[in-house]
């Protein structure tokens, strides 16, 4: 059987080997689908920055006396809550 080479670009000039999501990026942000969000107990936070270090999407924000989160990009994974040595972060359910 003879193999036929596929053209690298389709008729619209889009590469044939891309997944659909790469051709049409979703406009959704993590805040649109997250089921849990982190809430900081400001009285417990000692600004050690462990949550900042571990957050995989770099959405931890430094405030004057505590660390907070950018909820537009937080994906609710809970890593910050698991790693906080002060147990100052609680993961709470998003409102339905």
Beta carbon of residue 62, minimum distance to ligand SF4 (angstroms, whole number)? 8
Counted residue by residue, the chain has a size of: 96
Does 82 bind ligand SF4 (CB under 6 A)? Our answer is no
Residues numbered 28 to 67 that lie near ligand SF4 (CB under 6 A) are 38, 40, 45-51, 55, 57, 59-60, 67
Does 68 bind ligand SF4 (CB under 6 A)? Our answer is no
Identify the H or E element spanning 54: helix 50-54
Nearer to ligand SF4, 16 or 47 (CB): 47
Which region among 1-9, 13-21, 70-78 touches ligand SF4 (by CB under 6 A)? Answer: 70-78
Strands 89-93 and 36-40: antiparallel
Torsions phi, psi of 36, nearest 5?
Answer: -125, 150
Beta carbon of residue 33, minimum distance to ligand SF4 (angstroms, whole number)? 13
Which two tokens mark 84? Answer: 């906080």
Nearer to ligand SF4, 29 or 57 (CB): 57
- The answer to whether 67 and 49 have CB atoms below 8 angstroms apart is yes
């Amino acid at each position: 059987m003879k193999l036929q080479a596929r053209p690298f670009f389709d008729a619209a000039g889009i590469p044939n080997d891309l997944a659909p999501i790469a051709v049409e990026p979703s406009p959704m942000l993590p805040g649109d689908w997250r089921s849990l969000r982190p809430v900081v107990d400001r009285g417990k936070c000692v600004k050690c920055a462990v949550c900042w270090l571990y957050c995989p999407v770099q959405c931890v924000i430094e405030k004057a006396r505590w660390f907070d989160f950018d909820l537009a990009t937080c994906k609710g994974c809970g890593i910050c809550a698991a790693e906080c040595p002060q147990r100052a972060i609680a993961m709470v359910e998003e409102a339905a």
